[in-house]
Every structure is written in structure tokens, then in C-alpha cells.
Structure 1
Amino acid sequence: MTDLSPPGPTPGPTAGPAPGRSLWVDARARLLANRAATVSAVLLMVMTLLCALGPLLLPNDFNTIHQNYTKVPPSLSAYPKPEMIGPALEKAAGRARIEVLDWAQDGAVITATLTSAKPIDDRAARYFDRSDLFHDSRIETLDDGRARLTARVKQSWFFFGTDQNGRDLLARTLIAGRVSLAIGLMAGLVAVAIGVVYGAVSGFVGGRTDEVMMRVVDILYSLPFIFFVIMLVVFFGRNFLLTFLAVGAVMWLDMARIVRGQTLALKRLEFVQAAEALGVSRAGILRRHILPNLLGPVIIYMTLLVPTVIIMESFLSYLGLGVQEPMSSWGVLISQGAKTMPHANWLLYFPALFLISTLFALNFLGDGLRDALDPKDR
């Protein structure tokens, strides 16, 4: 019997399995979905760019001393203020042994009448040009023995004010940010690189190797940190790079213990035992199974390590073993600003604001990276 029913739909090609996504792709998607971590990452990038490029764009060098602008408060308008011009004129004239009878200002031009017991030489204008307030000064002798001074007001901007030596606090804060961020980052990377490898090998190999490696860590723990830094200074001299090595060479001990404990817990899990049963080498297991699962604790510890390193660097600088003048760091600026708190509080507020915002951003970014890199949340 012939089947006259219409033919059914032709089956299409069988759909293959959906392509899988790697840990890094999932981590990137989860990190971008975390608003606090994303904002913190942007803030850290902006802070890094400000510290790296900001001093090149500012009108004042971080080490230039403005004798007429010591401990001036922050201002969005240019200095000098009107009340500063008169005392600056009299101070400059006093150094030249000249008396100022009167003066007037027309825009950016200052005109003053000068008198002296002796004839006034036109070279006395140099005393006014040496001031931070005037430039292009000229002196003309009048018929009655007096002289007329003509000078232009030199405008200066101090958005964060100046310190006790008359140096621009904004420029010094950005330069100090370079030092603090560089020390925190470099010392953190040194501690992570040494501690992760050392702790992972110790925990994964186990046995007598683990015992020996941990006893070495215990011996290094017994050495005082300050003694270790002093030894480095004696043998290699005081060097900016020495701070990186000294701090990083000590901070890796905690990282090694944390990684070892995590490795001991991971190597007993089923996926590691399955990899061993399939004949994967120990180096391959460490690289592809152990280390990716350690990224969460490592990232969190590194975000906590950076503020610790910054505080430690401040302590070393206080002892004369760290950053030396004319360089500075946020910790050093905060220490100096705390001494002038009653009458120049901006010297403490601005460096502390930069440091606190950076530390908050590091903590939020560390939490976001921990959640994004946790393989259990995939």
C-alpha cells in the first residue's frame, strides 16, 4: 500500500556542544559586572597616571623653594594675594637698604616710589627680582633724588598650598605617589613571585622537602627586619632600589605560608588526584590546577600587602634608611603634616586623602578579583 502522506520536515544538522569558556574569560566578565571593583580599577589607573604624568604638567617643580610662600593655604586663584604685595615690597627694599614711600598697582604692574640716604643704583632692581612675587623690575632715578620702581607681578598657583619650606604640596604629593606606588607594587610583586612558588612547591611536594623548606622560613622569621635592612645598607649602600629588595625579601614569608596551606588543601581534592592518575607531571599540575586555584587568596593578600609596605617604607624613612630628601612618599608627607596640624592642616589632609583613596580602591579591587577568580563560582 502506497503512503500518500506528505513527507515530514527534513532533519537539520545536529547542533554541536556549546563552546566552553576559560577561567580568564569568566573572571573578566564577573569583574566587569562588579561595579565597585570596576570603579576602583579606574581610580587606580587615574591615580597612577596623575602620579606619573602630573608633575610634568605642573607649573612648579616639586623641589623648588618659594621663600615668600611658606605654609600658604590652598587656593584655586593665583598668588600673590593683594595683602601680600606691600610686605614683599618692603622686605625686598629692606635688603637693598631702600625705603618704600608709596606704591600702587595697575593690573599686573606695580609702581613704587623709593628713597634712600645714598643714591639709588638701578642695579638694586635685582633685589626685587629675587623675590617670588616680582619680575622684570626696573628702577629709574628721579630729579629729586628719589627713584621709581616698575615691576610686574609674578603669578604662582598652589592648589594644595605649600609646605614649611615653601615647596608646592601638589607637586610633592604626586612625586610621593610615584615612590609609594612603586615601592608597594614592586615589593608586592617580589613577595608574590617568591612566596607563591616557594609555598606551592613546599605544600605540593610535601614530606621531608616540606619540612626543610618550612624550617628555612622559620629561621628567616627569627631575623629582625631592621637588622636585615641595616645589613643591606652597610653592604650595598643607601639606594632607592634597596628599599624594594629589603621589603620584598621579607614580606614573602607570610605569602609562602598562606600558599602552602592552600596547596595542602587543594592537592587532596579529586581533580588533582584525577590529574595524577592520568599521568600529568607535577609541574603541569602546579601550573594548570594548583596555581589558578590560588589566585584568589594571593590577590587578596597582595592588596593588603601594599598598604603594609607603604607604612613600613615610612618607618624606614623616619629612621633614615628609606626615601631621602628631596624625594618623598605619602607616608613621609603624612608624618610631616601631622607635626603642623594645628596651623597648617592641609599638609596632612591632601597626602592622607591620596593614600586613603588608594587603599580603599585596592581593597575593593582585591575583593572583586577574589570573587572573579574563584573557580567555585564559575
Structure 2
Amino acid sequence: MTDIAATAPVTGRSFWGDAWARLKSNKAAMFSLFYLVFMAIICIVGPFFVPHQYTTIYADYVRTPPSLSAYPQADMIETALHDAVRRMRVDTQEWHQEDDRVFVTVKSSREIDERNTRYLDRSDTFDDARIESRSDDGLTMVMSAAVKQKYFFFGTDNTGRDLLSRTLMAGRISLAIGLLAGVVAVAIGVIYGATSGFIGGKTDEVMMRIVDVLYSLPFIFFVIMLVVFFGRNFVLMFIAVGAVLWLDMARIVRGQALSLRRQEYVQAAEALGVPRRGILQRHIIPNLLGVVVIYMTLLVPQVIILESFLSFLGLGVQEPMTSWGVLISTGAKNIGTANWLLFFPAFFLVSTLFALNFVGDGLRDALDPKDR
């Protein structure tokens, strides 16, 4: 028994394996991670399955409150029917509803044109309009139309667009800007900071003074300048945010690189004649991944908030495209009369930012070597 116990293999865990095990034990971080994945999936796939396009305008459903039941309601049917009949320039004599069809009797002082049924078909409330009966003199006509049922789970906005589809589409833009600008900022910051910290000397001084000069430029002024010269588009937002936020990453990585260059394994690689590029790729940057991953999770919320702030000011995403910042800006103007316009996009944005911060805290604890 002693020999068997002595020869039993001892398996260890790598740094990343141990970090993953500790991350899994953090319930808040794992729940937030699954929530972020779920949010990304519904924002990417959801617009293909919702019944309305984010650009479709329903004139009969302007500022419609959210509801789990189908529209139109009884009073909305009557309003839409009277509007359509008024455009026909005839008078409503009587109307009633049977199952999913409405029947309306109209009269006029002159002969009624049969093509008036198109006014019912053009409505967002009715479809499949047809003539049921007509008087011999053509002054009275009975028309019918099917009632189109529509669901607006998040309600509609000021122009009659479905808020659910617009919120999901806005999530695509906000998350894409956050991830893309975050990746660009991290990539530039890691390469720039690692190079500056590892080389050191006058090169480090010059590179850091360049960072100081860029720090002195106001971010809003920089964005306005880009808007004036290049116009407003998604790529501009991505470049403007990513091209500024790498400065913090560069400073953080530089400080870590200055510490790593004094480590024994780096000095051994230099003594063996490994070129500086190889030391950066094999030793410096891989050992910075823990700090980079943590900062990335904290940078994405910052980018999303900046995008929302710029869109709130009118410098970001423009119609018909939208983002959470654009929707929140619109909702803030209508909070007294249509609070759902603010509640749903704000909930999506705030919950996503909370989840990102929880994941960042979990990664910080999992990747901290002092806690192993």
C-alpha cells in the first residue's frame, strides 16, 4: 500500500488553470459572465426574430405603452377606422367587429368609389380590405377589413418604431463600439507601453512625453474635430474613442514592463543573446496578460459610457442607426409622459456595465498571484 501511494502521480495546475478555477468559484463573476454572453447573443440574433424592423414606422402606434397583449385595443380600432374613413371623404353610418374583422357602413352624397378600400389597407391597423355590399345608387357601401394584431413588448417611440427591436439593435452598436475600441486601445497601449518600458532610457523619456502631450488634448475637442473633417459614422466613433483611451493602458503596461525587465528570466534571455523583439513577444507581453485582461474588462464599460455620452450630445451614432446612448437621450426628454422610452435602454446599459465590472473584479482576484 505504501509503494502504491508513493508512486501515485501528482498533478499540478498552471497559473491560468488555477485562475480559471478561482474565477469559477466566484458566483457573482460567473453569473455576470453568463449574463454578458446572453446579452451579446440576444443583441446579435434577436433583431432577426422580433416581428418588427428597427426602422419601420407605424403611424397608428406612436408612443404606444409596452404590453404583453396584442394591439390594437378596442378604442384604437375605432380611432384608426374613423381616420381611414375620414380620408375617404365619406361619413360613417355604423361599424361593428366580428372575430378578427371589422365591418363599416359608409355613406356619401355622391357615388362612392370602390377604390376607397385602399385607405384601409394603408392603415397599420387593418389589412385585406374588401367590399361586402353596395347600394344600387352607390351612395352607401359596406366594407370589411381584417384587424392586424401587433405586439409591442417594449412599446413604441415618438415616431411609432418598435422599442424592442431598436434596443436590441442599439445593443449591437454599443457593445461593438465598446469591444472594438477597447481592443484597439489595449493593442496600441500594450505595444507602446511594453516597448517604452522595456527599452528604457531616452527612448522611454521621449515616448512618455508624447503620451503627456496627447493627454493634454481635450477629448471632446478631438471628437468634434474628427466630426467636422470626416463626418459622423460608426467607424469615426470607433477611431475617436479607441485612439484616445490607449494612453492609460500605455502607462500601466510601461510600469509593469519596467518591473519585469529586472526579473532574472529576462536578464537570462538577454545574456543568451535573445533579441529585444523576441524578449518582448515571449516574456514581457505574456506576463502582462493578466493586467491587460483585467483592464480590458474595465475599459469596455468606460468606452460604452463615452459613446453614450457623445450620442447624448449628438456627436455619436445618428439616425436611423441607434445606440443605448441615443435611446437614453430620447427617453430622458420624454420621462414624464413615456417613461418606458428611458427605462428599457437604461436597464440594458446599466445591467451590462454592472456585469462587466463584476467580471473585472472576479478576474482581478483570480489573476492576482498573491492570492494563490
What TM-score comes out, normalization by structure 2 length? 0.91
Change (3 A) 1:271 1:142: same
Distance 1:60 1:160 in 2: 12
Corresponding residue number in structure 2 for 1:217: 211
1:192 aligns with 2:167: no
1:52 aligns with 2:44: yes
Corresponding residue number in structure 1 for 2:311: 317
Corresponding residue number in structure 2 for 1:96: 88
93-102 or 225-234, which deviates more: 225-234
Corresponding residue number in structure 2 for 1:4: none
Answer yes or no: is the 8 Å Cα contact 2:365–2:371 preserved in 1. yes
1:67 aligns with 2:59: yes
Shift of 1:236: 4.0
Shift of 1:263: 2.6
Distance 1:298 1:334 in 2: 31
Shift of 1:12: 7.1
Secondary structure (helix, strand or coil) at the match of 2:70 reads coil
Corresponding residue number in structure 1 for 2:24: 32
235-244 or 344-353, which deviates more: 235-244
Answer yes or no: is the 8 Å Cα contact 2:65–2:338 preserved in 1. yes
Answer yes or no: is the 8 Å Cα contact 1:89–1:100 preserved in 2. no
Secondary structure (helix, strand or coil) at the match of 1:59 reads coil
Alignment of 1:87-126 (within 5 A): 87-126=79-118
Distance 1:12 1:356 in 2: 56
Corresponding residue number in structure 2 for 1:345: 339
The one-letter code sitting in structure 2 at the alignment partner of 1:133 is T
Pick from 350, 360, 369: which aligns with 1:375?
369
1:248 aligns with 2:227: no
Answer yes or no: is the 8 Å Cα contact 1:120–1:141 preserved in 2. no
The one-letter code sitting in structure 2 at the alignment partner of 1:223 is L
What TM-score comes out, normalization by structure 1 length? 0.90
Answer yes or no: is the 8 Å Cα contact 1:122–1:141 preserved in 2. no
Shift of 1:241: 1.2
Secondary structure (helix, strand or coil) at the match of 1:323 reads coil
Q: Unpaired runs of 5+ in structure 2?
A: none
Answer yes or no: is the 8 Å Cα contact 2:232–2:318 preserved in 1. no
Please list the CA deviations of residues 158-183 of structure 1 after superposition, one character each: whole Å capped at 9, or x if unmatched: 00000000000000000000000000
Answer yes or no: is the 8 Å Cα contact 2:124–2:148 preserved in 1. yes
Change (3 A) 1:15 1:285: farther
Answer yes or no: is the 8 Å Cα contact 2:180–2:238 preserved in 1. yes
Please list the CA deviations of residues 35-55 of structure 1 after superposition, one character each: whole Å capped at 9, or x if unmatched: 111111111111111111111
Answer yes or no: is the 8 Å Cα contact 1:295–1:370 preserved in 2. no
Shift of 1:197: 1.5
Answer yes or no: is the 8 Å Cα contact 1:90–1:99 preserved in 2. no
Pick from 124, 142, 146: which aligns with 2:135?
142
Alignment of 1:150-189 (within 5 A): 150-189=144-183
Alignment of 1:180-329 (within 5 A): 180-269=174-263, 272=266, 282-329=276-323
230-239 or 82-91, which deviates more: 230-239
Change (3 A) 1:237 1:17: same
Answer yes or no: is the 8 Å Cα contact 1:98–1:116 preserved in 2. yes
138-147 or 28-37, which deviates more: 138-147
Distance 2:340 2:102 in 1: 31
Corresponding residue number in structure 1 for 2:33: 41
Q: Unpaired runs of 5+ in structure 1?
A: 1-8
The one-letter code sitting in structure 2 at the alignment partner of 1:122 is E
Shift of 1:23: 2.1
User: How many residues are paired up?
Assistant: 370
Secondary structure (helix, strand or coil) at the match of 2:60 reads coil
Secondary structure (helix, strand or coil) at the match of 2:96 reads strand
Corresponding residue number in structure 2 for 1:23: 15
Secondary structure (helix, strand or coil) at the match of 1:342 reads coil
Distance 1:186 1:148 in 2: 59
Shift of 1:270: 5.5
Please list the CA deviations of residues 327-378 of structure 1 after superposition, one character each: whole Å capped at 9, or x if unmatched: 0000110011000001100000000010011111101111112222223333
Answer yes or no: is the 8 Å Cα contact 1:55–1:174 preserved in 2. yes
Percent identity of the aligned residues? 65
Shift of 1:323: 1.0
The one-letter code sitting in structure 1 at the alignment partner of 2:54 is F
